[in-house]
Amino acid sequence: MRKLHWLNNSGQGEVCGMSMPYQDRYWESADGLKLHFRDYAGREDRPPVICLHGLTRNARDFESLAEHLAGDWRAIVPEVRGRGMSEYAKDPMTYTPLTYVADLAALLEQEGISRFISIGTSMGGLMTMLMAARDPTRIIAAVLNDIGPEVDPVGLKRIGNYIGQARNYPTWIHAARGLQEVHSAAFPEFDLEQWLVMGKRTMVLGQNGRVSLDYDMAIAEPFKQSDNAAPPNLWPAFEALVNVPVTLLRGELSDLLSEATEAKMKELHPAMQTVIVPNVGHAPTLDEPEARVAIDALLAQLG
């Protein structure tokens, strides 16, 4: 099903004729995929903030945060292969965090970025740790959003129950209700307007007039093979961040990041700041006041 996205003639994002505060740009993976990222302009004397989305998500997850950062910080929001406006992979077995990190390295090379701040939600946090394992000197600071070196199997099982299901809906209201049915335990206080916001971030309108999830259903194939759901033994990768300012956000109701893992992370990285986002499961949207204040505080440390 073809997806409908809008660009104006300059490559600027556009919705319903309204110009958006970013440019839609592209880079190419080693295996020839055209991959998309949003580029929000910011101060050139500061390192950019790279915002990395979760498993079934896309650049729209960061639209509010990136607009908040823009001007003061350049915010780059990539969409990994198979999500949003990035091309779908020819080989579904390339839908793994190690491949995403290799793709991201190509983006950083294209943009001439040697050092950066990483904000990673869930899978994006796994990517952050994997990048640190490659070269920790490139990461100036990091936000890990509801993710750690160990992933709770309870949360993995829940994700496995819905990933790759090609659901579609006749209206955005139906789509919002569908998301509520699946994710209400993680966001028990959401009202209809908030579910609609999540729907617009995670779904897209097709040419057939139906609203569907904005990712390649084939990403489920490697995920459902347990060895690929999360890279094994990421503790050494996390330890590569011990000399880097890190803020850990954990949803109070999270079923993916356990209190035990959080405690071990704090033991290994005593300077790490931990913020519990109340009444939220996996993963905080980063629109919550507690999350936003924590991110602003981390960036303020950097000048």
pLDDT tens, 118-146?
999 999 999 999 999 999 999 999 999 99
What is the average pLDDT score of the chain? 92
pLDDT the model gives residue 9: 32
What is the C-alpha separation between 37 and 299, in angstroms, rounded?
22
CATH number of 12-155+234-301: 3.40.50.1820
Q: Cα dihedral angle (50, 53, 55, 59), rounded to 10 degrees?
A: -120
> 27 vs 1, which has greater pLDDT?
27
- Edge-first strand order for the sheet with 273-277 is 12-15, 18-28, 34-40, 75-78, 49-52, 116-121, 139-145, 246-251, 273-277
Length of the chain: 303
What is the C-alpha separation between 187 and 199, in angstroms, rounded?
13
What is the C-alpha separation between 43 and 78, in angstroms, rounded?
19
* Cβ-contact 85, 24 below 8 angstroms: yes
The torsion region of residue 97 among left (phi > 0), alpha (psi -120 to 50) and beta comes to alpha
What is the C-alpha separation between 118 and 135, in angstroms, rounded?
13
What is the C-alpha separation between 129 and 110, in angstroms, rounded?
21
pLDDT the model gives residue 230: 57
Paired tokens of 206:
């097709």
Q: What is the pLDDT of residues 155-208, one digit of tens each?
A: 999 999 999 999 999 999 999 999 999 999 999 999 999 999 999 999 999 989
pLDDT the model gives residue 225: 78
Handedness of CA 148, 154, 157, 161 (dihedral sign): negative
CA 149, chain centre distance (Å): 16
Instruction: State phi, psi for 252 to the nearest 5 degrees.
Output: -55, -30
Average pLDDT over residues 56-75: 98
- Edge-first strand order for the sheet with 211-213 is 168-169, 211-213, 203-205
pLDDT the model gives residue 233: 87
Q: What is the pLDDT of residues 219-269, one digit of tens each?
A: 999 987 765 555 678 999 999 999 999 999 999 999 999 999 999 999 999
pLDDT the model gives residue 118: 98
**Domain definitions of the chain by residue range:** 12-155+234-301
What is the C-alpha separation between 120 and 206, in angstroms, rounded?
28
pTM, 2 dp = 0.93
